């Protein structure tokens, strides 16, 4: 909460002319690069944790985290089973199709994959928007990105339902279990063609990406021959013919398996080892130091910064090796690092940005079906519909990749601020927050938007611009406060988390 | 300052401050061949470059087919495209020069080849040693095989060094929701999906005020974000004058309703509107055909149909204006020479590049230093050998057609071997 003195100071600043603003801007611009990191400088730790561990602040989360304090909040998030998700689970009832198995859905909706995909995305975003277990959801997304499948290839749209169901329970668990869930996932077997791989001439697609993208990393110390040997080891890991789809769709086909001896990364897989060939490969890869390094780097990139330090990666890799790649231990190590607390701003990916808008507005949905279409259209224009990236590396997690597409982000704010027949921002909840602070003037309210959305006092330049914009809106405080809120959502600061 | 306490109902009206999304449409002028600018932007230095990237590693051996090489039919017993004179097959290779031909799905390109406005370069690629899609694309688009030290893209360096005085804010466009690696660090370059949608929504006057406020806020953003915001604003001012909704392709060209063709159609409109476009990058994905690739028909044939119909429509639309356009179609690598057991092909090495334009020095349809497909001449005994470095083609194109003499900066540590493809 802003104190009266600095409030008055701001009030003074708000009256300055456009000329002064440009002078301030000039001064800011000519300062050394990196000196101004608008989203994190002066940000309080609660806001930092909210923005990194969750999909963004909501009115409820804001009050809750303030009330229980930062340490208790982190412990809650690291122990998700202590948090009730009854509300979110009730909302998932809106998506009945995806509560069935992939086989059952395929039987009923074979000609209607788009309906299934829309429902899946509806359920996926419902988890993210409404779950109290925000950090857990972030890990579900992290592993789902890591073991990415493209839901537009063939029947992956159906198979993703089982894939999601397999990844969720192990997302806060150990790496070998997550790797195993993915390796036996019909969606992955289909997507990377292993389902067709046979002893006569194995298909290398899964074997290569298993080494390059899922475990060791491209420079992780494997050879082209290892790729071929791994592909041989997984021959026979398959799915049934479509007319035989039922229940669990993982199918090991002994007759398609190459029974010969293989050598993977110097380890001998004995002849006639059957399905154990693949299991042994996964064991070898899951405990390999290159895997520890590769996963640690990706995790640090997701939670800390685009370019995490070698020291942090090495430290996390050590934790990975000691704990068999335990997700929660890795998260604790990240939260214990200075680098996490001093992390530079991380540019939100389009999906993150969209979720953070919906959460900040506490968007109330009145028509789930139409809202689903609206949301998919918005994510498409921003560039990131979940699982619609064709290549197996998944959407990039580097800010530079996403920075050249700002216009759809600004338009997303404009769309969302307008109540429609299918959604309405929860202005009541936002009003309650404002009321609780005692703010009454437009200046107070704008200052509070900074606290709520960015976890810090607005800079003078930010305040002046937002205040001046609000002055141009016809109407009284409500209209102007609404306009100021919209502009805050479009600011550089809100593009970062 | 007001002291009244607001109730929450009063504090936030459900007003529609940002309404009137559609009202901006009415004021747009009729389509004209070029914008009504006092001085239209142009590319003073040379051709507009269009780069098409086939993501996934396109199997070029089944696109530009060496039907005169007996070995091709031996290593691809199920996937090979029948010889041009194989009258037992309805769909077969379309001959170009007696040795190479094109896939039947590429038939819309045959008249362009015959008119001397399209060339294929075979046995080309990047000499990196990776078989990873992602490393290969990265090396190729940055233009620095096997090196991670350069962070800009080759097109980005071209635009930064060409020194042609073009002040347009839309010198480069990456069609889609992000720019490709090749455009990284390019000045005055935007990602755009749709010309029609490239404006701030809502009431026009409000949008102008909002944009001014945004520019003020983004001035204090980190440098790349500030640059992006400013490029966006400048581009909007130019793009919103392009009345794409009434754009009619010339010469009865008909673009198919695909994302790929739509990007080319919009590229043609920007060229016609003279907004100062110098480079457009278009992606076409789905070429990673490990399984069920198909032969004369099937998965890859469908991709080729999309590619060829789009290119042919663009070519027809531009007509005489092709003389100031150069197009390159490339992929991160070719696929393995031998087919696999799943009616597909795995990651390989050398491939083919297609070039379209109207200023070739080279007269034959296919440029290749063909060494054949026997195991002893293949790379790693299994891949088509690279006999022409892809930088030789791009470098010569930049020099001769785009007026850039700084090819040593664009492709560092590499001595171009001119192929005399362009004039």
pLDDT at B20 over 90: no
Asked if residue A24 lies in contact with residue A460, where contact means CB atoms within 8 angstroms, the answer is yes
Average pLDDT for B234-245: 90
ipTM for the whole complex: 0.86
Q: Is A194 on the interface with B (CB under 8 A)?
A: no
Is it the case that residue A29 has pLDDT exceeding 80? no
> Contact B163/B409 with Cβ under 8 angstroms?
no
Amino acid A350: pLDDT: 98
Region A101-117 average pLDDT: 96
| Cβ-nearest to B217 among A196, A465, A472 | A465
Q: What are B179's two structure tokens?
A: 């720019």
H/E element, B327: strand B325-331
Of the candidates A234, A241, A335, A246, the one whose C-alpha atom is nearest the C-alpha of residue A284 is A234
pLDDT over threshold 90, residue A413:
yes
Binned at pLDDT 50, 70 and 90, residue B334 comes out as: very high
- A496 — phi, psi (to 5°)? -110, 160
Residue in B5, B132, B288 closest to A212 by CB: B132
What's chain B's average pLDDT? 89
CA A262 to chain CA centroid, Å, is: 38
Q: Where are the alpha helices (H) located in B248-383, listed in sequence order? A: 259-273, 299-318
User: CA-CA distance, B285 to B258, in Å (whole number)?
Assistant: 12
Q: What is the 3-state secondary structure (H, E, C) of B107-176?
A: HHHHHHHHCCCEEEEEEEECCCCCCCHHHHHHHHHHCCCCCCCCCCCHHHHHHHHCCCCCCCCCCEEEEC
Predicted confidence (pLDDT) per residue in A426-458, tens digit: 999 999 999 999 998 999 999 999 999 999 999
* Interface residue B180 vs chain A (CB under 8 A): no
- Kindly tell me if the per-residue pLDDT of B185 is higher than 80: yes
Q: Which two tokens stand for residue B362?
A: 């080279």
Q: Nearest by CB to A478, from B12, B177, B179: name it.
A: B12
What is the rounded average pLDDT for all residues in chain A?
Answer: 91
Is B279's Cβ below 8 Å from some Cβ in A?
A: no
Contacts of residue A405, Cβ cutoff 8 Å, sequence gap at least 6: A350, A382, A383, B177, B178, B191
Count other Cβ atoms within 10 Å, centred on residue B285.
16
What confidence score (pLDDT) does residue A18 get? 27
- Residue B32 neighbours by CB under 8 Å, 6+ apart: B243
Q: For residue A126, which of A95, A157, A99, A147 has the smallest C-alpha distance?
A: A95
**Length of chain B in terms of residues written:** 423
Q: Is the pLDDT of residue A303 over 60?
A: yes
Asked if A469 lies within 8 A of B3 by C-beta distance, the reply is: no
What is the distance between the alpha carbons of residues A212 and B131, in angstroms, rounded to a whole number?
10
For A453-477, the pLDDT digits (tens) are 999 999 999 999 999 999 998 888 9
Q: B156 — contact with chain A (CB < 8 Å)?
A: no
Q: What is the mean pLDDT of residues A375-387?
A: 96
| Entry field: residues in chain A | 497
- Could you tell me if A225 lies within 8 Å of chain B, comparing CB atoms? no
Per-residue pLDDT for A25 more than 90?
A: no
The DSSP code for A54 is S
The pLDDT of residue B221 is 75
Q: How many helices (H) and strands (E) does chain B have?
A: 11, 12
Of A350, A405, A453, which to mutate for an interface test with B (greatest number of B Cβ within 10 Å)?
Answer: A405
Q: What pLDDT score does A226 carry?
A: 97
CA distance A422 to A374: 9
**Nearest Cα residue in chain A from B338:** A201
**pLDDT tier at B158 (50, 70, 90 boundaries)?**
very high
Q: Cβ of A406 under 8 Å from any chain B Cβ?
A: yes
Q: Which of A416, A350, A362, A354 is nearest to A389 (CA)?
A: A350
A202 contacts on B by Cβ (under 8 Å) = 341
Q: Which of these, B260, B263, B265, B262, lies nearest to B248 by C-alpha position?
A: B265
Residue among A25, A411, A427 whose CB faces B200 most closely? A411
Lowest mean pLDDT across A153-157, B165-169, B255-259: B165-169
pLDDT of residue B41 exceeding 60, the answer is no
Q: What is the pTM of this model?
A: 0.86
3-state secondary structure of A263: strand
Rounded CA gap, A207 and A122, in Å?
32
pLDDT of residue A42: 74
Answer yes or no: is pLDDT of A5 > 80.
Answer: no
> Rounded mean pLDDT of A28-45?
51
Q: Look at residues B392, B166, B141 and name the one whose alpha carbon lies nearest to residue B278.
A: B166
d(CA B384, CA B126): 12
Instruction: Give the whole-angstrom CA distance, residue B398 versus residue B407.
Output: 7
Question: Would the pLDDT of B10 be above 60?
Answer: no
Q: Which residues of A touch B344 (CB under 8 A)?
A: 193, 203
B131 touches chain A (CB under 8 A): yes
Q: Quick one: average pLDDT of B220-226?
A: 84
Rounded to an integer, what distance in angstroms lies between the CA atom of residue B92 and that of residue B88? 9
Residue A366 has pLDDT above 90, yes or no: yes
Angle at A327 between CA A356 and CA A362, to 5 degrees: 15
Give bridge partners of residue B65 from the DSSP assignment.
B101
A96 touching B (Cβ < 8 Å): no
Residue B250, classed as helix, strand or coil, is coil
Please write the tens of the pLDDT for every residue from B62-121.
Answer: 999 999 999 999 999 999 999 999 999 999 999 999 999 999 999 999 999 999 999 999
Kindly list the residues from chain B whose CB atom is less than 8 angstroms away from the CB atom of residue A156.
none
**Phi, psi dihedral angles at A200 (to 5 degrees):** -60, -45
Banded pLDDT at B16 (limits 50, 70, 90): very low
Q: Does B203 touch chain A (CB under 8 A)?
A: no
CA atoms in the 13 A half-sphere facing the CB of B242: 29
Contacts of A224 in chain B (CB under 8 A): 131, 380
Crossing angle between the packed helical segments A460-471 and A477-490, to the nearest 10 degrees: 130
Q: Does B170 touch chain A (CB under 8 A)?
A: no
Q: Does B280 touch chain A (CB under 8 A)?
A: no
The lowest-confidence range among A314-328, B216-230, B304-318, B321-335 is B216-230
The C-alpha atoms of residue B200 and residue B196 are separated, in whole angstroms, by 11
Q: Closest Cα to residue B120, out of B102, B107, B108?
A: B102
The model's pLDDT over B270-302, given as tens digits with 9 standing for 90+, comes to: 998 889 999 999 999 999 999 999 999 999 999
User: Hey, what are B308's tokens?
Assistant: 């060829």
Size of the A and B interface in Cβ pairs below 8 Å: 221
Contacts of A200 in chain B (CB under 8 A): 341
CA dihedral A20, A22, A28, A32 (to 10 degrees): -130
- Find out whether B355 and B328 touch, Cβ atoms under 8 Å: yes
- Residues A416-431 have a mean pLDDT of 92
Give the pLDDT band of residue B42 (cuts 50, 70, 90): low
Burial class of residue B387 in the structure, from the number of CB atoms within 10 Å of its CB (0-12 exposed, 13-18 middle, 19+ buried):
middle
Q: Is the pLDDT of residue B1 over 50?
A: no
Question: Contact at 8 Å (CB) between B134 and A391?
Answer: yes
Nearest CB partner across the interface for B201, out of A22, A401, A414: A414
| Torsion angle of C-alpha atoms B24, B26, B27, B28, degrees rounded to 10 | 100
Confidence of residue A40 (pLDDT cuts 50, 70, 90): low
pLDDT (tens digit per residue) in A174-212: 999 999 999 999 999 999 999 999 998 799 999 999 999
Please tell me which residue of chain A has the smallest CA distance to B151: A400
Tens of pLDDT, residue by residue over B135-149, are 899 899 999 887 777
Do A200 and B341 count as a contact with CB atoms less than 8 A apart?
yes
* Cβ atoms within 10 Å, residue B320: 9
CB contact under 8 A, A390 and B19: no
How far apart are alpha carbons A329 and A323 in whole angstroms? 7
Measured CA angle at B108 (ends B105, B111), to 5 deg: 130
Q: If we measure between CA atoms, which residue out of A477, A425, A433 comes closest to residue A452? A: A433
Q: Secondary structure of chain B: what % helix, strand, coil (to 5)? A: 35, 15, 50
B291 to A193: CB separation less than 8 angstroms, yes or no = yes
Cβ atoms of B130 and B139 closer than 8 Å: yes
Q: Above 70 in pLDDT, residue B43? A: no
pLDDT at B231 over 60: yes
B6 against B67, higher pLDDT: B67
Render pLDDT for A318-359 as a digit per residue (tens, 0 to 9).
Answer: 999 999 999 999 999 999 999 999 998 899 999 999 999 999
**Mutation site for A-interface testing, chosen from B9, B200, B217 by largest number of A Cβ within 10 Å:** B217
What's the token pair of residue B406?
A: 């700084």
| DSSP-derived pairing of the beta strands B189-192 and B172-175 | parallel
- Quick check: B193 contacting A, CB < 8 Å? yes
Higher pLDDT pick, A135 / B46 = A135
pLDDT grade for B205, boundaries at 50, 70 and 90: confident
Contacts of B213 in chain A (CB under 8 A): 465-466, 468-469, 487
Q: Are B116 and B330 in contact (CB under 8 A)?
A: no
Residue appearing with tokens 């009832």: A93
Closest among B207, B233, B189, B213 to A411, alpha carbons compared: B207
Nearest CA in chain B to A482: B12
Residue B203: DSSP 8-state:
-
- Residue A329 has, within 13 A of its CA and on its CB side, a CA count of 16
């Amino acid at each position: 909460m802003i104190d009266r003195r600095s409030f008055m100071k701001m009030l003074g600043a708000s009256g300055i002319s456009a000329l002064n603003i440009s002078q301030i801007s000039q001064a800011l611009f000519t300062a050394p690069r990196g000196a101004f990191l608008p989203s994190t400088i002066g940000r309080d730790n609660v806001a930092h944790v909210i923005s990194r561990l969750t999909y963004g602040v909501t009115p409820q989360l804001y009050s809750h985290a303030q009330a229980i304090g930062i340490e208790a909040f982190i412990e809650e998030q690291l122990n998700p089973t202590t948090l009730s998700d009854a509300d979110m689970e009730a909302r998932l009832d809106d998506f009945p199709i995806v509560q069935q198995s992939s086989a059952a859905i395929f039987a009923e909706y074979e000609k209607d994959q788009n309906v299934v995909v829309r429902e899946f995305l509806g359920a996926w975003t419902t988890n993210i928007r409404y779950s109290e277990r925000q950090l857990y959801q972030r890990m579900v997304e992290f592993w789902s990105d890591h073991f990415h499948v493209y839901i537009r290839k063939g029947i992956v749209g159906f198979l993703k339902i089982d894939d999601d169901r397999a990844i969720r329970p192990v997302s806060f668990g150990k790496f070998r279990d997550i790797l195993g869930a993915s390796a036996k996932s019909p969606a992955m077997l289909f997507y990377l063609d292993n389902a067709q791989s046979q002893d006569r001439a194995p298909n290398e697609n899964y074997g290569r990406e298993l080494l390059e993208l899922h475990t060791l990393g491209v420079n992780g110390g494997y050879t082209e021959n290892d790729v071929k040997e791994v592909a041989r080891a997984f021959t026979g890991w398959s799915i049934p013919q479509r007319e035989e789809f039922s229940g669990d769709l993982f199918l090991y086909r002994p007759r398609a398996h190459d029974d010969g001896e293989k050598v993977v990364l110097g380890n001998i897989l004995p002849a006639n080892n059957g399905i154990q060939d693949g299991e042994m490969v996964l064991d070898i890869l899951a405990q390999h130091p290159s895997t520890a390094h590769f996963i640690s780097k990706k995790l640090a990139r997701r939670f800390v910064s685009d370019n995490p330090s070698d020291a942090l990666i090495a430290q996390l890799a050590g934790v990975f090796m000691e704990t068999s790649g335990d997700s929660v231990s890795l998260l604790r190590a990240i939260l214990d690092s200075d680098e996490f607390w001093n992390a530079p701003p991380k540019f939100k990916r389009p999906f993150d940005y969209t979720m953070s808008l919906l959460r900040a507005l506490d968007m109330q949905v009145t028509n789930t079906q139409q809202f689903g279409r609206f949301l998919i259209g918005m994510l498409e224009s921003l560039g990131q519909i979940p699982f619609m990236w064709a290549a197996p590396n998944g959407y990039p997690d580097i800010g530079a990749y996403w920075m050249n597409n700002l216009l759809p982000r600004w338009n997303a704010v404009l769309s969302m601020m307008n109540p429609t027949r299918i959604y309405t921002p929860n202005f009541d909840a936002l009003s309650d927050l404002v009321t609780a602070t005692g703010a009454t003037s437009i200046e107070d309210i704008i200052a509070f938007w900074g606290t709520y959305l960015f976890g810090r006092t607005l800079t003078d330049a930010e305040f002046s611009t937002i205040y001046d914009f609000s002055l141009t809106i016809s109407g009284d405080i409500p209209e102007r406060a609404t306009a100021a809120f919209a502009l805050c959502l479009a600011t550089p600061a809100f593009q970062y988390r | 300052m007001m002291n009244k306490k607001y109730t929450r109902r009063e504090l936030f009206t459900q007003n529609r401050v940002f309404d009137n999304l559609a009202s901006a449409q009415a004021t747009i002028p009729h389509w004209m061949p070029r914008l009504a600018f006092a001085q239209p932007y142009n590319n003073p230095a040379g051709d507009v470059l269009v780069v098409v990237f086939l993501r996934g590693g396109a199997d070029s051996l089944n696109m530009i087919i060496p039907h005169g090489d007996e070995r091709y039919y031996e290593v691809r017993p199920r996937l090979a495209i029948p010889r041009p004179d194989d009258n037992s097959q309805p769909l077969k290779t379309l001959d170009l020069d007696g040795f190479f031909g094109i896939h039947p799905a590429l038939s819309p390109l045959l008249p362009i080849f015959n008119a001397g406005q399209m060339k294929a370069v075979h046995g080309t690629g990047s000499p990196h040693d990776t078989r990873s899609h992602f490393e290969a694309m990265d090396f190729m688009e940055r233009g620095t095989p096997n090196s991670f030290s350069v962070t800009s893209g080759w097109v980005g360096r071209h635009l930064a060094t060409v020194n042609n005085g073009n002040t347009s804010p839309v010198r480069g466009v990456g069609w889609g929701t992000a720019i490709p690696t090749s455009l990284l660090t390019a000045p005055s370059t935007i990602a755009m999906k749709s010309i029609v949608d490239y404006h701030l929504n809502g009431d026009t006057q409000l949008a102008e005020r909002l944009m001014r406020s945004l520019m003020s806020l983004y001035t204090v953003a980190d440098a790349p974000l500030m640059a992006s915001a400013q490029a966006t604003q400048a581009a909007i001012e130019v793009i919103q004058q392009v009345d794409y909704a009434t754009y009619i392709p010339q010469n009865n060209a008909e673009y198919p309703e695909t994302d790929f063709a739509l990007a080319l159609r919009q590229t043609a409109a920007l060229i016609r509107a003279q907004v100062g476009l110098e480079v457009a990058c278009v992606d076409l994905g789905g070429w990673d055909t490990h399984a069920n690739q198909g032969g004369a028909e099937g998965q890859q044939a469908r991709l080729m149909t999309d590619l060829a119909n789009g290119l042919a429509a663009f070519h027809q639309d531009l007509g005489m204006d092709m003389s100031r356009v150069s197009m390159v179609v490339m992929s991160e690598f070719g696929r393995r020479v031998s087919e696999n057991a799943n009616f597909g092909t795995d990651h390989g090495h050398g491939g083919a590049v297609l070039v379209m334009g109207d200023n070739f020095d080279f007269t034959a349809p296919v440029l290749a230093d063909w060494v054949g497909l026997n195991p002893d001449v293949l790379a790693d005994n299994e891949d088509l050998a690279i006999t022409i470095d892809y930088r030789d083609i791009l470098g010569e194109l930049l020099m001769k057609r785009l007026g850039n003499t700084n090819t040593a900066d664009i492709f560092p540590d590499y001595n171009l071997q001119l192929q005399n493809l362009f004039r």
